[in-house]
Homo-oligomer: A and B are copies of this chain.
Amino acid sequence: MPQSKAVNRRILLASRPHGAPTAANFKLDQTPVPVPAAGQVLLRTVYLSLDPYMRGRMSDAPSYAAPVEVGAIMVGGTVSKVEASEHPDYKVGDLVLSYSGWQDYALSDGKGLTRLDPKLGRPSYALGLLGMPGFTAYMGLLDIGQPQAGETVVVAAATGAVGSVVGQIAKLKGCRVVGIAGGADKCKYAVEELGFDACIDHRAADFPQQLAAACGKGIDVYFENVGGAVFEAVLPLLNTRARVPLCGMIASYNATGKPEGPDHLPSLMRRLLTRRIKLQGFIIFDDYGQRYPEFFKEMSGWIAAGKMKYREDIIDGLENAPQAFIGLLEGKNFGKLVIRSGDE
């Protein structure tokens, strides 16, 4: 369904999910395209980023950011085009990084907008490799993980927006990299395209054994973004003084309560103690926002040098965002999930 010049399609949070989100939790509505006042620009969404953290915004459980109100527009980062401008700094046709959310059009007074350099190549990379996911991979791995050459780095969701970058940076730092992904296709891609040393399918019945076999010297850095059964398999393999940067736990985002026992907390604590492990959560822009330029410069250099591969899973049509997002939480995407809601 193409974008209209007159109608603004918006996807609202219709109700809060109990467990996994369903289509009924979202509602597509339509309003007239707004008109910018003095000092404002009208933005048209070209790309909308879909990311696991959005599941947290659908709930009203306490978190690090306020929830989306029921009836409000779903939040999200976008690459948007200036369609009309009453703002001195922006002109029609400019591409900007915005946080317009799940809708075709938005007004902005310019706050929080970043103009995208057309020379950078794919504009959608601003939502991925050069944006929040890439920055998360970079800082979590390098600042908290502190990988040393020759060490073993394990990352789950290995072909995803964050995991694929974690693994490639770890390879650049001389580490042995073992990915974890869902399915043979993704594992093949991680090894053959991304250059990981191994990639294990977490759906395999003997996944813990396969992981142990691939990590003959144990695990020095585990980049944690999934939790659940994957973390349970990783835990016994963590080496003395291992580091575990923690940026997500998609496996439990849809949980409706505490899982049944046994209680794994004491064994985690025992492992952390006896192996003297550091486990540290981080929220990328809150903790590292001031270091974005450093990341941007280094990552741009790697991209220019051809050292960074990045796969995008691009879905056309804003109306498909709910279904794509539901699939993201089930691991159905292959690469960074992005909605292309309109022409560049």
Contact = CB atoms under 8 A, between A and B. Distances in A.
Interface of A: 62-64, 224, 227-228, 231, 240-241, 246-249, 252, 255, 257-270, 272-283, 286-287
A258 B248 contact: no
A197 to B, nearest CB: 26
A277 B144 CA distance: 12
From A227, A248, A259, A280, residue with most partner B Cβ within 10 Å: A280
A45 to B, nearest CB: 28
Nearest to A287: B276
A248 B252 CA distance: 28
Given A261-B263, A262-B261, A263-B259, A276 B282 contact: yes
A265 B255 CA distance: 13
B268 A258 contact: no
Contact of A249 (B247, B262, B266, B277): B266
A266 B252 contact: yes
Given A63-B274, A247-B273, A272-B279, 12 more contacts: A224-B269, A246-B269, A255-B266, A257-B262, A261-B262, A263-B263, A275-B281, A276-B282, A276-B287, A277-B280, A277-B281, A279-B280
B246 A272 contact: yes
A269 B261 CA distance: 16
Contacts of A265: 231, 263-265, 268
Instruction: State the 7 A-B residue pairs at the shortest beta-carbon distance, nearest first.
Output: A261-B261, A258-B262, A273-B281, A272-B281, A264-B265, A278-B280, A252-B266
Contacts of A247: 273
A262 B62 CA distance: 20
B263 A258 contact: yes
A66 to B, nearest CB: 12
A276 B286 contact: yes
Given A262-B257, A275-B281, A281-B276, A269 B286 contact: no
Nearest to A243: B280
A64 B274 contact: yes
A63 B259 CA distance: 27
A162 to B, nearest CB: 13
A276 B283 contact: yes
A62 B274 contact: yes
Contacts of A249: 266, 269-270, 273
Contact of A266 (B259, B281, B282): B259
Contacts of A227: 266, 269
A272 B263 contact: no
Nearest to A252: B266
Contacts of A283: 273-274, 276
18 contacts: A64-B240, A227-B266, A231-B265, A249-B273, A252-B270, A258-B262, A259-B263, A259-B266, A263-B263, A264-B265, A265-B265, A265-B268, A269-B281, A273-B281, A274-B281, A276-B282, A276-B286, A278-B278
A228 to B, nearest CB: 8
